[in-house]
Amino acid sequence: MQTFFLTGCASGMGRHMTTVFLRQGHRVVATDIAEERLEQCSIDEGWDPSRVRLFKLDVTNYDEWQEVFNKAVKEWDGIDVTINFAGLLLSSWVTETPLKEIHSQIDVNVKGTIFGTQISAKHMVERGHGQIINISSIAGVVPVPGLSIYSASKHAVRAYSLSAALELRKKGVYVTVICPATVQTPMLDNQLNVDAAELYFSGLRILTVRDIEKAIVKRALRKKPMEIFIPRFKVKLFQIFALSPRLGPLIAPLYQWAGRMRQSHRRKKQ
């Protein structure tokens, strides 16, 4: 049995993986800024109160991170795995991005991940073992028009995680960054009517939380790699484009067209 510390547990990947880990017999510290919604999730999902602890956590607040993490450590004598699921996706064109959205995406996606990684790493290095899993994105591998701030933030998450992985591995702490293509979550649904999000709908298949589950349970936790791409071929292909930005103007229009078509189709199905 392991003890997991998860963020963003009131919806999407965090909610799903809390349920998965509890069913596997583990203990989970489930956190989210939406405290009431988190408590409702616990009821709806039937989380075992003897093996789950719910805490309100604003991941952009370092002091709050420390306070909640310390409470969790005292509760169960240590954290084995931290997974930073909390994230924010807001689409807009470069010239139209509100200042508030710039700050919020950088604060949640970048600072929230960095805070959680650092605080977890201090605890795990002291214990001599542990693992931290951070969620980046396909947007952290290639630039995505219409998602410039989100893409920048996920590039930062990926770079920080890989740097931390190299630094902490020799101390017994493994860091894995997961870079998935588009995942079906409430966060994605919120972008359905935003034209700037068209590229996020360009794939033939949108991943599910079960795809993330497989990557975490079967690959990240077992093999402890530095990086995981989902799906492997698609993201590795995009890495080629990332190395040659001049290909962007040639390829982007095709993906934008496909994204507009699939986004429009999903809108009609609402």
Query: Cα–Cα distance between 4 and 162 in angstroms, integer?
Result: 21
The structure tokens listed for 162 are 């890989």
Tokens of 201: 């709908």
The domain tally of the chain equals 1
Strands (E) across 191-244 are located at 227-230
Angstrom distances, CA of residue 39 to CA of 15, 35, 53, 64, 111: 11, 6, 10, 19, 25
Kindly list the strands in the beta sheet with 3-6, ordered across the sheet, starting from the edge strand earlier in the chain.
Answer: 52-56, 27-32, 3-6, 81-84, 130-135, 173-180, 227-230
Using an 8 Å Cβ cutoff, are 76 and 131 in contact?
no
Task: Decide if pLDDT at 96 tops 90.
Answer: yes
- Domain of residue 230 covers 3-268
Better-scored residue on pLDDT, 263 or 18: 18
CATH number, position 254: 3.40.50.720
Mean residue pLDDT across the chain: 91
195 vs 63, residue with greater confidence: 63
**Predicted pLDDT of residue 258:** 65
Does residue 49 register a pLDDT over 80?
yes
pLDDT digits (tens, 9 = 90+) for 216-254: 999 999 999 999 999 876 666 666 666 666 666 666 666
CA-based nearest residue to 147, from 8, 259, 245, 243: 259
Mean pLDDT confidence for 30-35? 98
Residue 250: what pLDDT? Answer: 62
Catalytic residue (choose from 150, 160, 174, 200): 150
255 catalytic residue (yes or no): no
**Per-residue tokens: 132:** 């931290």
**pLDDT for residue 251:** 66
Predicted local distance difference test score (pLDDT) of residue 266: 77
Candidates 84, 137, 148; CA nearest to 112 is: 84
What are the pLDDT digits (tens) for 148-188? 999 999 999 999 999 999 999 999 999 999 999 889 888 88
Find the radius of gyration of the CA atoms of the chain. Answer: 18
pLDDT at 123 over 70: yes
Distance CA 229, CA 205 (A): 15
Report pLDDT for 243: 65
Please count the other Cβ atoms lying within 10 Å of the Cβ belonging to residue 117.
23
